[in-house]
Chain A
Amino acid sequence: MTALLEVNNLHIAFRKEKSFIPTVEGVSFHVNSRETVGIVGESGCGKSVTSLAIMGLLPRGISRIDYGEILFEGQNLVGLSSEEYRKIRGREISMIFQEPMTSLNPVFTIGDQLMEMVLEHTAQPKKQAFKHSVEMLEKVGIPRAEEIMHDYPHQLSGGMRQRVMIAMALSLNPKLLIADEPTTALDVTIQAQILELMQQIKNDFDTSVIMITHDLGVVAEVCDRVVVMYAGKVVEQGDVKAIFKNPRHPYTIGLLQSVPSLTEERDQLYSIRGSVPLPENMPAGCRFASRCDHAKPECFEHEPPEVQIEGDHTTSCWLYR
């Protein structure tokens, strides 16, 4: 089976003053058709940057892809012209952004923004586009959809705005949806509504999803596979059950143990000591070594290679060599 999306050895750098600093370094993962893949990891580890790269939306001038390929249905997206990317974005791959307010334009109505998307990519007449947009709003559970077409983003609640974003992202029935922290800004009861909606939509539309989140509960609930990132690299990936039941990388293990549980009582939480190294002074060996309880001398010197644990469960750690 070929994957819908394959990211191979992706390297991305950001400019800081005069030089480019590597921020994503050799990230590889894939997304199969109809699959939900979760990406988790510490703030700043490169989750959003990776997804912007897939969308072809890395900020020009201050960032660049140094190496690697992004294969979508076999076609390499790295190096596509903006013209070519425009045909893919929204239509084949679309994204729900981390900050819903910045991605909806405050001066246009919800209807304008939804219809623009449809009109840009299809030859539908305006009337048809309006009807389609209303249908999309209804599909994401917005009551009074026709009225809301005339509302501005600030007139809606956070949960409603997120629904609009989802409607917009799905209005051209893309094959891949990237959701960057789609529920982080929302309250739990609204989050529950949105997660339910995303599950239902995924089934109805056969969409594959990349779900970026820091909430391990959300990952356990909606993802089939999980990619764990740390300081610009993938440290472990595999089936969601393997990652939660049989985590191997000390960072993954620490992360899972740091979460307070609703069902168990613990006197003290496990906590990973120290903090993430800064991009401009990344250590030579394993980037987690200074925080790791199991680090051996070689961990501080050489980068750990990727090791297969079982099936597609892999990890990059010297303990398993």
Chain B
Amino acid sequence: MTEPLLEVENLKKYFPIKKGLFRRTRGYVKAVDDVSFQLEEGETLGLVGESGCGKSTTGRTILQLLRPTSGRVLYRGQDLTGLNFQQLRPIRREMQMIFQDPYSSLNSRMTIRNILLEPMKIHGLYTKKEREERVEELLELVGLDRGVADRYPHEFSGGQRQRIGIARALTFQPRLIIADEPVSALDVSVQAQVLNLLQELQETFKLTYLFIAHDLSVVKHFSTRVGVMYLGRLVEIADKRRLYQSPRHPYTQALLSAVPVPDPEIKRERIVLSGDVPNPKNPPEGCAFHTRCPECMEICRVERPPMIEVEPGQFTACHLYS
């Protein structure tokens, strides 16, 4: 077997909660709490879960935009967590991020041309002429007319702005793209355009995606494997088909059953969970899901369930299987 493109090992990111006059640390938000997974070259791993469960923090910590509290992030075998800014620079060109909000992620005072030139200038790459050519190439790649280069972001629709964000991420021919909710702010019809574009680009450039989203239908369409997070933890990860057809973790089961299906003739049995997602400042002991779990047992309240391979390629962290 070839080496995975990315290996995330026991990744933790704790944010200190500071309170009081002396800003003393009064505990931690365990935004990412012992997460491990791998990404093979050319695949798309979807990452789903409810708001605040740590999806974005996972993405940012992998890219070292946030430094992990502990754990390792191996990119082509090299651990990024110990590298300094200079050492990370060449690697950063190969790992790019696309953001949810095409409005705030583009500088509103810069033209599209300057937005696309900026990363090349920062990295000090290419001649002036080559840079200009690259801008035109990039626009073409994402299906925008080269004539738009001298316009400003506010002159574009949400879908077009997202294309610009994608063009910028493609500047240095990346191998890994972390897409953080790239279509969540878009209308259904525009969402389909952007998803198709991302898919074409993946085929053309053999891109590997970590695709963060909360829409389970979108993730199913777009991913090869899917990981489900709950309160900073990965609770289940499996091949897409397996995860959607036979989810094992009670949370995955509830999450999937909660998705409304666009067919008025289908009436589904739904697992409606009671209560809210607990506060991440004060997560439950044992299994983080036990306060809402319909299957909760004695052991779930006290002991954190280990990740177990329940079927070949399907891993679940739940005491029902341990």
Contact = CB atoms under 8 A, between A and B. Distances in A.
Interface of A: 42-43, 157-160, 187-193, 195-196, 214-221, 240-241, 244-245, 254-256, 258-263, 266, 268-273, 275-276
B29 to A, nearest CB: 16
Interface of B is mostly: helix
A217 B220 contact: no
Contact of B189 (A157, A188, A221, A258): A258
A156 to B, nearest CB: 9
Contacts of B159: 275
A189 B262 CA distance: 17
A187 B50 contact: yes
B277 to A, nearest CB: 7
A255 B157 contact: no
Interface string B247-277: 0000000111111111111100010111011
Contacts of B270: 192, 196
B261 A263 contact: yes
Contacts of A159: 276
B221 interface: yes
Interface in B167-200: 187-193, 195-196, 199
Interface stretch (B58-66, B73-81, B211-219): B211-219
Nearest to B279: A157
Interface residues of B, number: 44
Nearest to A275: B157
B272 to A, nearest CB: 5
Given A216-B188, A269-B195, A259 B217 contact: yes
9 contacts: A157-B276, A187-B50, A188-B255, A192-B273, A193-B272, A215-B260, A216-B188, A260-B215, A276-B157
A241 B258 contact: no
B51 interface: yes
B69 interface: no
Given A241-B264, A255-B188, A191 B258 contact: yes
A16 to B, nearest CB: 15
Contacts of A263: 261
Contacts of B222: 260
Given A191-B258, A217-B260, A196 B193 contact: no
